[in-house]
Structure 1
Amino acid sequence: MFSMSASRPLLRRSVVATLIGALLGACSTLPPYQRPSAAVPAQYAGATPGWAQAAPADAAPRGPWWTVFDDPVLNQLEARIEVSNQTVLKAVAQVQQARSMVDYQRAGFFPTITAGVAQDRFRTSQNVEGKSLAGKTVPDYSVGVGASWEPDLFGRVRDSVAGARADAQASEADLEGVRLSMSADLAADYFALRSLDTQKKLLDDSVTAYAAALKLLQQQLDNGAIDASAVAQATTQLEATRTQDTDIDVSRAQMQHAIATLIGEPASTFTLPPNGSLAAPPAIPVGVPSQLLERRPDIAAAERRVASANARIGVARAAFYPDLTLSASVGLESTFFAPWLSAPSLFWSLGSQLVGTLFDGGQRRATLHGANAQYDGTVADYRQSVLVAFQQVEDNLSALNALADEAASQQRATTAADLSLRLTTNRYNAGAVSYLDVVTAQTIDLTNQRIADQIAARRLESSVLLLKALGGTWDDKRLNTTATAAATAAATPG
């Protein structure tokens, strides 16, 4: 701090220090950054020729990814995820929190200005020699404005801003990942519920048919045409099928409750009318493996965290250099209130301070080592995210290929079981076989139809999981654009 009596040379030195600070502001300790390398296969191993026709980018689904299923009810439910799902809303709040940290770090580019008004009274001891105010009570009135500014000599503030921006971009990618996960969970639960509706309809029809058959057999028993064993077999079959039918109701209610939670509605107030039809698995454009790095929000988030860790290395390096602080203050001070606003009450100061740490016991070096280690860890996380992404795509491609074969063979089995039931029923009516043979054929037919429905549901679930593994319709071009703007803004503070 310099008083009003400070000489002009000191003032000139302060100005020179300011200019030096502005020149050194171009320096930066931030290490050059580029996206970490990751092994990317030339093609998907599970992408059979059937997938290749959907590979061109023009075949990519437009709009929300779930619209490829062409289900209006699903589209309506998915629209509620964005506004009502509490997990998504929490992720939105986390993005806002991360963005506020960018503003917080960016504030370091600007000076801090304070203002205050004070009124004080003090008395100096009368037994102190050599003081003109000994034994006197003195009032003091003051008002002043102070400012301090620390030029960003070695890029500490800019590196902090770059790290905060990368963290904010990672949070934005996390938000997209949460949206993708919640929408995929909703689609999977929705198709599971529709599969239960299909099986429920099949079991309802079977219960109706078995009840009619039992009634006919009971009449035949009353007429003495058959023995009681046939009625017992038909009764057993009917009640066993009713049990399965009731169990479907339990599973459907639980699935409906899960959907209600996902769309942010109490389970007790949400209902979804039954629908016995099940959508066919869509043709999914898988693209080329290199596109996966751009379409997966979790990979984008991992890459942005690498950039943030790189910026923290710059901050740790900047701690080895001195800090320059420029300060100024001006105000009015007077012992008496009457002349308080007069010119003689004016005081001011202007100064600069250059401070550096000479010895800290290795604290800064340890911080730098920690920042480098954290960077290495985020690189490993990024590469692991890439590996997991390719695994998930390959898993679901393989599952869809296998399930397509299963569906074809199961359809043949279902057709054969249906034919066997008709032939066995005809032979029973002709008196060639017992009713036990009919019950066995009916059980086999029902089982095969249920298996066919379950395979269809698994194909839809695998389609949803594949779309999720491919990143839906999201891409990281927005984050790349934001990163470029962030670098430009950091290079030109203010």
Structure 2
Amino acid sequence: MNRTHALIAACALLGACSFGRDGKPPAMPQPAHYGAQPQPDTSVTAEGAAQRFVTGAKPVPEWWKLYRSDALDALVDEGLRASPSLAAADKSLVAAREQLRAQVGSSLLPSIDAGAQATRQRGLGIPEVGPPTVLYNLFVGQIQAQYTFDIFGAARFANASLAAQVDQQAFQLDAARRALAANIVTGAIGAAALHAQIDVTERLIALAADDAHDAERRYALGSASRAEMFSAQQNAASLAAQLPGLRAQWLATRHALAVLLGRTPDRAPDDLDLASLTVPADVPVVLPSELLQTRPDIQAADAALKAAAAQVGVATAQLFPSLSLSASMGKGGFSWPTALSGAGALWSVGASLSQPIFHGGALLAQRRAAIAAYDAAVDQYKQTVLAAFQNVANTLASLETDSEALAFADTASSKARDVSADAAARVRLGAIPPRAARGSEQQYLNARLSTIRASSARMSDTAALFQAMGSPLASGASLSQADGADR
């Protein structure tokens, strides 16, 4: 008895030890700024607006509302509410949480079952004593209980691993939700920009067709060469060839946007007016140290690291003894009166202790595999953080160059518009022929196309930067606290 008590005390002492890794993420370098060059505090002014990069600011939860478009807000709200992919991911997360509760309950609490049995059997008798066959009834009812002591923490480590996997799934859902919002915003901006480009291109085609028709008449009158006529016709055909591709791209963007909203492609939403969108003036730039807490992908990598650390504990605990207790009580007999009487009482109490001795090296190999998987999770976490820094750096650089490109394109478009207006006035006065005004308008429209593309790029890259900053509070961050009572 004393040796038994000593064995139990030693097992309890060993069970208090931690067999797994701590699961803490590795220390990462904290760059002074994201890119190879420090980002400026303010972008260049383009289309009358300059963006301010607020270093150290917090992420904006519903950042799409900064575009000041009720139509855009309605699209994002519809997508977040009706997207089948988000709904499926959310239901999968609910299922994972219930699986976690089931595993915790089955591994840390005793199991109690009730059973009843009523059978009629035919058995072989002993000829020297009685008849050669015996017919009899058997009635049994009992309650059974079983409990396995988690001395070395195998069940706790397994539960911690599954809980971290559920947290990882919650962070992935949050990342998917933010990605969906960003895709809807960029899709709506892209569709609006393509619509505007189609309108400008159609006007360019009409002007080129007028030039070709004018060249044909002048060639017939002998005032234009044949080469000049062919050149005008070739220019009109080249411009017309660009329109089908633009329309196909525009329709594909609208179809993709409809699917993001949970609609069929034939119910694609109407295009927004690109001019009605206001580029956000203040853009947050989260500090690199805080980005580790705001990016859902980094938080998901952290959760995967904790799950791998717990699996090391599971594999280590499997090398040590396992102690289980079982008990049952009930009634039984060959007739109901006997089964219900005191003579029919049944009970049993037992304990079992098992210690792995030889499994062909499988248990040690499993532990080494768990350690290697943990080391891989550490490296994957590092790569996720570096990729997040790169994502922010690239988006900041793109946004800066977008503002510069838009500023130049807007200036060129403004000057070309002035030249076109002056040429149109001179045509009305009879100072120059109409084809000269058409040429000036074509130059303005080409400059306008560059402005539309640059404006669309700045708005889309602004949305990408908001997404890259993460969220103030990830939806799955408090999962372990919320489910603490159940665990």
Could you tell me whether the CA contact under 8 Å between 1:14 and 1:352 is conserved in 2?
no
Could you tell me whether the CA contact under 8 Å between 2:211 and 2:435 is conserved in 1?
no
Q: Provide, for residues 54-89 of structure 1, a one-character-per-residue CA deviation record: whole Å limited to 9, x for no partner.
A: 4355x5464412112222111111112222112212
Which residue of the partner structure matches residue 318 of structure 2?
A: 319
CA distance in 2, matches of 1:188, 1:142: 69
Which residue of the partner structure matches residue 264 of structure 2?
A: 266
CA distance in 1, matches of 2:118, 2:7: 35
Deviation at 1:201, TM superposition (A): 3.7
Gap change, CA 1:411 and 1:289, over 3 Å in 2:
same
Which residue of the partner structure matches residue 118 of structure 2?
A: 119
CA distance in 2, matches of 1:485, 1:279: 40
Gap change, CA 1:328 and 1:61, over 3 Å in 2:
closer
Kindly indicate whether residue 349 of structure 2 is the aligned counterpart of residue 356 of structure 1: no
Could you tell me whether the CA contact under 8 Å between 2:207 and 2:438 is conserved in 1?
no
CA distance in 2, matches of 1:369, 1:22: 25
Could you tell me whether the CA contact under 8 Å between 1:21 and 1:152 is conserved in 2?
no
Gap change, CA 1:157 and 1:366, over 3 Å in 2:
same
Deviation at 1:95, TM superposition (A): 1.2
CA distance in 2, matches of 1:263, 1:339: 70
Q: Matched residue pairs, number?
A: 475
Gap change, CA 1:349 and 1:38, over 3 Å in 2:
same
Q: How does 1:208-247 map to 2 (within 5 A)?
A: 244=242, 247=245
Deviation at 1:221, TM superposition (A): 7.0
Aligned partner (choices 50, 54, 79) of residue 42 of structure 2: 50
Gap change, CA 1:214 and 1:434, over 3 Å in 2:
same
State the percentage of identical aligned residues.
24
Could you tell me whether the CA contact under 8 Å between 1:233 and 1:436 is conserved in 2?
no
Could you tell me whether the CA contact under 8 Å between 1:22 and 1:151 is conserved in 2?
no
Q: How does 1:294-305 map to 2 (within 5 A)?
A: 294-305=293-304
Which consecutive unaligned segments of at least 5 residues does structure 2 have?
Answer: 44-50
Query: Normalization by structure 1: what TM-score?
Result: 0.83
Q: Output the amino acid matched with 1:36.
A: P
CA distance in 2, matches of 1:394, 1:79: 29
Q: How does 1:440-455 map to 2 (within 5 A)?
A: 440-455=439-454
Which residue of the partner structure matches residue 281 of structure 1?
A: 279
Kindly indicate whether residue 191 of structure 2 is the aligned counterpart of residue 193 of structure 1: yes
CA distance in 1, matches of 2:351, 2:264: 62
CA distance in 2, matches of 1:422, 1:228: 29
Gap change, CA 1:302 and 1:39, over 3 Å in 2:
same
Deviation at 1:320, TM superposition (A): 1.0
Deviation at 1:475, TM superposition (A): 3.3
Deviation at 1:259, TM superposition (A): 0.9
Could you tell me whether the CA contact under 8 Å between 2:60 and 2:466 is conserved in 1?
no
Deviation at 1:166, TM superposition (A): 0.5
Could you tell me whether the CA contact under 8 Å between 1:144 and 1:330 is conserved in 2?
yes
Q: Output the amino acid matched with 1:381.
A: Q
Deviation at 1:38, TM superposition (A): 2.0
Aligned partner (choices 253, 256, 264) of residue 254 of structure 2: 256
CA distance in 2, matches of 1:454, 1:304: 40
Which residue of the partner structure matches residue 365 of structure 2?
A: 366
CA distance in 1, matches of 2:152, 2:349: 23
Deviation at 1:385, TM superposition (A): 0.7
Aligned partner (choices 20, 38, 52) of residue 30 of structure 1: 20
CA distance in 2, matches of 1:251, 1:434: 37
Q: Output the amino acid matched with 1:98.
A: A
Which residue of the partner structure matches residue 184 of structure 1?
A: 182
Could you tell me whether the CA contact under 8 Å between 2:167 and 2:477 is conserved in 1?
no
Query: Normalization by structure 2: what TM-score?
Result: 0.84
The Cα RMSD (Å) is: 3.9
Deviation at 1:361, TM superposition (A): 1.3
Which residue of the partner structure matches residue 457 of structure 2?
A: 458
Q: Provide, for residues 253-312 of structure 1, a one-character-per-residue CA deviation record: whole Å limited to 9, x for no partner.
A: 222111110010111133315535252432311121112111110110010000000011
Q: How does 1:382-421 map to 2 (within 5 A)?
A: 382-421=381-420
CA distance in 1, matches of 2:94, 2:419: 64
1:141 aligned counterpart, secondary structure: strand
Kindly indicate whether residue 65 of structure 2 is the aligned counterpart of residue 73 of structure 1: no
Q: Provide, for residues 204-223 of structure 1, a one-character-per-residue CA deviation record: whole Å limited to 9, x for no partner.
A: 555677788899x6999799
Could you tell me whether the CA contact under 8 Å between 1:191 and 1:460 is conserved in 2?
yes
Deviation at 1:234, TM superposition (A): 7.1
Q: Output the amino acid matched with 1:48.
A: P
Which residue of the partner structure matches residue 31 of structure 2?
A: 41
1:154 aligned counterpart, secondary structure: coil
Could you tell me whether the CA contact under 8 Å between 1:55 and 1:288 is conserved in 2?
no
Which residue of the partner structure matches residue 4 of structure 1?
A: none
Gap change, CA 1:324 and 1:132, over 3 Å in 2:
farther
CA distance in 2, matches of 1:249, 1:223: 35
Which residue of the partner structure matches residue 64 of structure 1?
A: 62
CA distance in 1, matches of 2:13, 2:397: 60
CA distance in 1, matches of 2:7, 2:326: 12
Which residue of the partner structure matches residue 84 of structure 1?
A: 82
Kindly indicate whether residue 140 of structure 2 is the aligned counterpart of residue 148 of structure 1: no
Deviation at 1:29, TM superposition (A): 2.7
* Range that drifts further, 268-277 or 337-346: 268-277
Could you tell me whether the CA contact under 8 Å between 1:17 and 1:352 is conserved in 2?
no
Which residue of the partner structure matches residue 347 of structure 1?
A: 346
Which residue of the partner structure matches residue 164 of structure 2?
A: 166
Q: Output the amino acid matched with 1:319.
A: Q
1:320 aligned counterpart, secondary structure: coil
1:465 aligned counterpart, secondary structure: helix
* Range that drifts further, 74-83 or 38-47: 38-47
CA distance in 2, matches of 1:92, 1:452: 41
Q: Output the amino acid matched with 1:44.
A: Y
Deviation at 1:101, TM superposition (A): 2.6
1:55 aligned counterpart, secondary structure: strand
Could you tell me whether the CA contact under 8 Å between 2:110 and 2:147 is conserved in 1?
yes
Deviation at 1:321, TM superposition (A): 1.1
1:357 aligned counterpart, secondary structure: coil
CA distance in 2, matches of 1:288, 1:213: 56
* Range that drifts further, 234-243 or 196-205: 234-243
Gap change, CA 1:260 and 1:214, over 3 Å in 2:
same
Gap change, CA 1:326 and 1:219, over 3 Å in 2:
closer
CA distance in 2, matches of 1:235, 1:135: 110
Q: Output the amino acid matched with 1:394.
A: A
Q: Output the amino acid matched with 1:77.
A: L
* Range that drifts further, 376-385 or 111-120: 111-120
* Range that drifts further, 231-240 or 247-256: 231-240
Gap change, CA 1:219 and 1:166, over 3 Å in 2:
closer
Deviation at 1:196, TM superposition (A): 1.8
